[in-house]
Chains A and B, each alone.
Chain A
């Protein structure tokens, strides 16, 4: 089955700096890669996603890149703000049904 690895597990940045979170996946058939933000005690919320026919996608301060050959994808947050502090999960969707395999999460702390 699919295996998704995520690094780093924790990340502290100064407000205004950039943050990068990296993930690798194992199943070459995976074709959809969402990123979720989860604040303490709340549901995971989709912040951006990318499909396998695209190499990069950007939405304001958030961007995701995908390298299918190397089977890795990354989340980039620029101009970080304290409200960006949360746990971020990468995920990969594969299989004939929609099994989403999540990474282990990155706790991002943005220091004012």
Chain B
């Protein structure tokens, strides 16, 4: 196991609702990246947080937002849920800046179903 944890494991919401997903990074890692993985596809980069600041964003609308806390844990918030938001949401932690430590390690994911 990687030491990266996510909660909840599964979540069911209805269209228009809001959801918050949580991620605890591996000890010592100061960077968290979030990915959306639709069924049968590869993970798609949503955004990354480094030392509590957003440090890059993929092609996702503003209703996808996030936070990183002083202990480097992180939240992903999605507003106005749509059916297409149904997916596995993965977070990955890393420690960039040093050789051989920028590998991203994934958490188990949160399976979000939007009805």
Q: Closest residue of chain A to B109, judged by CB?
A: A43
Q: Which residues of A contact B108 (CB under 8 A)?
A: 42-43
Cross-interface CB contact of A102 among B2, B31, B42, B105, cutoff 8 Å: B42
Contact B102 A105 (CB under 8 A): no
Does A46 have its Cβ within 8 Å of any Cβ on chain B? Answer: yes
Q: Which residues of B contact A104 (CB under 8 A)?
A: 41-42
B-facing residues in A80-106 (Cβ within 8 Å): 89, 93, 95-105
- Given the contacts A99-B45, A105-B41, A34 and B50 also touching, CB distance less than 8 Å: no
Report Cα–Cα, A36/B2, bound state, in Å: 13
- Given the contacts A99-B48, A100-B104, A44 and B41 also touching, CB distance less than 8 Å: no
Chain B interface size, as a band, is 20 to 34
B contact residues vs A (CB 8 Å cutoff): 2, 31, 33, 40-45, 48, 50, 55-56, 58, 90, 92, 94, 96, 102-109
Report Cα–Cα, A49/B105, bound state, in Å: 12
Q: Closest residue of chain A to B45, judged by CB?
A: A99
Contact A32 B102 (CB under 8 A): yes
Report Cα–Cα, A2/B102, bound state, in Å: 18
Q: How many residues of A contact B (CB 8 A)?
A: 22
Contact B107 A43 (CB under 8 A): yes
- Given the contacts A43-B90, A43-B109, A98 and B43 also touching, CB distance less than 8 Å: no
Does A14 have its Cβ within 8 Å of any Cβ on chain B? Answer: no
Cross-interface CB contact of A46 among B41, B42, B103, cutoff 8 Å: B103
Q: Which residues of A contact B41 (CB under 8 A)?
A: 104-105
- Given the contacts A93-B102, A100-B45, A43 and B2 also touching, CB distance less than 8 Å: yes
Contact A98 B102 (CB under 8 A): yes
Pairs across A and B, CB under 8 Å, 17 listed: A34-B103, A42-B108, A43-B106, A46-B105, A89-B42, A93-B102, A96-B56, A97-B48, A97-B50, A98-B94, A98-B102, A99-B58, A100-B33, A102-B42, A105-B40, A105-B41, A105-B42
Does A45 have its Cβ within 8 Å of any Cβ on chain B? Answer: yes
Report Cα–Cα, A101/B48, bound state, in Å: 13
Q: Which residues of A contact B2 (CB under 8 A)?
A: 43, 45
Q: Which 3 A-B pairs have the closest CB atoms?
A: A102-B42, A97-B56, A43-B106
